[in-house]
Chains A and B, each alone.
Chain A
Amino acid sequence: MLARDDSAALKRTPLHALHLARGGKMVPFAGYDMPVQYAPGVLKEHLHTRAGAGLFDVSHMGQIELRAKSGKLDDAARALEALVPQDIAALAQGRQRYAQFTNESGGILDDLMVTNLGDRLFLVVNAACKAEDEAHLRAHLSETCEITTLPARALLALQGPKAEAALAKFCADVTRLKFMDVAELGLNGLPCIVSRSGYTGEDGFEISVPADGAEAFAQALLGNPDVLPIGLGARDSLRLEAGLCLYGHDIDTTTTPVEGGLSWSIQKSRRSGGARPGGFLGSDAILAQLDGGTVHTRVGLRPEGRAPVREGAALYDSADATEAIGKVTSGGFGPSLNAPVAMGYLPTAQAARDTLVFAEVRGQRLPLRVASMPFVPNTYKR
C-alpha cells in the first residue's frame, strides 16, 4: 500500500482539497494524487453516474490551444492535419472531434479531442502524454502555430442523465448543445469552455474552468443532491462498458487507429480517394490498412462466467491451444451489466461477433465470446 509520504512528489489538481474533504481515497495516477473512489465505492459511484449525475475531476488532462500565426484558423487546422488522420479543416466552429496523434509507422502517440473555437483550436489530451504531446506539437507546428498550454485551467466532467438539468441551473444555454457541440459560456461567474461530451457513454459535459474558480464551482455543482463526486475507478468501469479505448492499454504506439477499431473517426476526406488523402504521420500504413484490412483488431469480449478477465490475459482459440492468438487490453467488472466485460486484440479473421475464445486466468482457460461494443448503449443527445 502506498505510504502517504510518497504522495508528496505527486502533483495536485485545483480540486485536491475538495477530494480530501469529501473523503476521496487518493492514489497516484499519471503523476497526480487523484481520487480512485469516495466512500460509496466504485460500484455505487458507477451506478449513480448511469442513473443521476457524476462529477469527475479530469484536471490532470492536458489543455492546449493552437492559433495560426497567420491569424487564419484554417491554417492551424491544416497544420494539425499533418499529425492526425482526422479532417480538422472541415470541423465547424463550436464542434469537437475525436482524433489521434500518430507516429511514422501509424502507431498512436495519444488520443485527444479537438475543438474549433472560431479563433483557435482547443485540444484536450491525456495526462500521461501531455508533455510529449506538447513537444510533438512544437516540433512539427511551431513555424505555423502558436502553441499554448493551459495549466491554469481545471477540467470537470459532469456525466449522466441528470447532468443537463444540474448544469442548466448555472446557464440555460447548455441545453442547446448537442453531442460534441462546444460553447464558451459563463458558469458561476467563470468563463468556461463547455463541450457536450465525456468518456462514460452517458450524456454529459466536460467543462474547462479557470483553476482559481474550480473548487467553488465544483462545490456549487455538488450542492445539487443529484450530483455526486466520482473517482477514477468508476470512470474506468464506465468507459469500459462504453467500449471506449484507454490510451496506454487498448491503444498505444504499437496499434494503429484501424487496428484499434477507430476507423470511424477517420473521415472520408483523409482516406484514399478523398479530398485531402493522407499527409499525416504514418498515413502510408494507415491508408493501406483502411484499404486492405488489418491482421489484428480490437474486439469487445464477454466472459461467460462471473470471473473478471483482466488486462494482460492471453487469449487462445481453444481450451487446450498452446499458442496465444491475442490478449486482453482492458477488463474488469461491468456494474451496469452485473457481469465481467473486457476488450482485447484478436486476429481479424477470428474477430467475428460470437466467436468463442479462451483467456488464461490463474492457470485456467475461461471462455469468452466476441461481442459488439458498446456493452452498455450510449445515451448521447444527438
Chain B
Amino acid sequence: MTTLYTSDHEWLKIEGDVATIGITDYAQEQLGDVVFVELPKVGRSVKKAEAAAVVESVKAASDVYAPITGEVLEVNETLGTEPGLVNSDAGGAAWFFKLKIADKSELDGLMDEAAYKAHTA
C-alpha cells in the first residue's frame, strides 16, 4: 500500500484501483476543532480538484478536494456522528471517502511522504 499527499493537505492510500482519502494531521491542526463533515454521495463521480467534501471547524468551512478523478465507492459515515475523529486520528480512522481510480497516471503528480514533509516544513 502506498500513501501519497496533495499540496492541499489530503492524503491517499492506494490499494489496487481504490484510493482511500482523508486530510492530513497538519491540515486538522490548522483547521482546529472539527464540528461537522459533509461527505459526497456514494456513486458520485468526481473530477480531480473538484470539491468533494467539506470540513467545518468551529471557525470556518473548508473544502476537501478530490485529489484524483474517480467514482465514490464508500464514505466514512462515522464522521457524521463523530466529526472530532478528524482531530484525533486524521491519518487513520478519520478517512473521508474511497474512490475508484479512473486514471492511474493522475497519481504521478502527487507527493510521497518525504516531499509532503518538505512541503509543510
Contacts and interface: CB of A to CB of B under 8 A. Distances in A.
A37 B30 CA distance: 11
B58 A42 contact: yes
Interface string B32-71: 1101101000000000000000101111110000000000
A282 interface: no
A307 B39 CA distance: 12
Contacts of B30: 1
A308 B35 contact: yes
A161 interface: no
Contact of A233 (B32, B54, B56): B32
Contacts of A36: 59
B54 A332 contact: no
Contacts of A257: none
Q: Which one of B33, B56, B57 has the greatest number of beta carbons of chain A within 10 Å?
A: B33
A237 B36 CA distance: 15
A233 B38 contact: no
B58 A362 contact: no
A1 B62 CA distance: 13
Interface in B76-101: 80, 83
Contact of A307 (B33, B56, B58): B56
Interface string A212-252: 00000000000000000000010001000000000000000
Contacts of B60: 310
A43 B33 contact: yes
Of listed A37, A310, A332, A335, residue having the most chain B CB within 10 A = A332
A333 interface: yes
A233 B35 CA distance: 14
B38 A37 contact: no
A41 B33 contact: yes
A332 B35 CA distance: 10
Contact of B36 (A37, A333, A335): A333
Given A43-B58, A233-B59, A333-B58, A307 B32 contact: no
Interface string A39-62: 001111010000000000000000
For the complex of A and B, 6 pairs with smallest distance between CB atoms: A43-B33, A42-B58, A333-B35, A41-B33, A308-B56, A333-B58
Interface of B: 30, 32-33, 35-36, 38, 54, 56-61, 80, 83
Interface of A: 1, 36-37, 41-44, 46, 233, 237, 306-308, 310, 332-333, 335, 340, 362
30 contacts: A1-B30, A41-B32, A41-B33, A41-B58, A42-B32, A42-B33, A42-B57, A42-B58, A42-B59, A43-B58, A44-B33, A233-B32, A233-B58, A237-B58, A306-B35, A306-B36, A306-B83, A307-B36, A307-B56, A308-B35, A308-B36, A308-B56, A308-B61, A310-B61, A332-B58, A332-B59, A333-B36, A335-B58, A340-B36, A362-B38
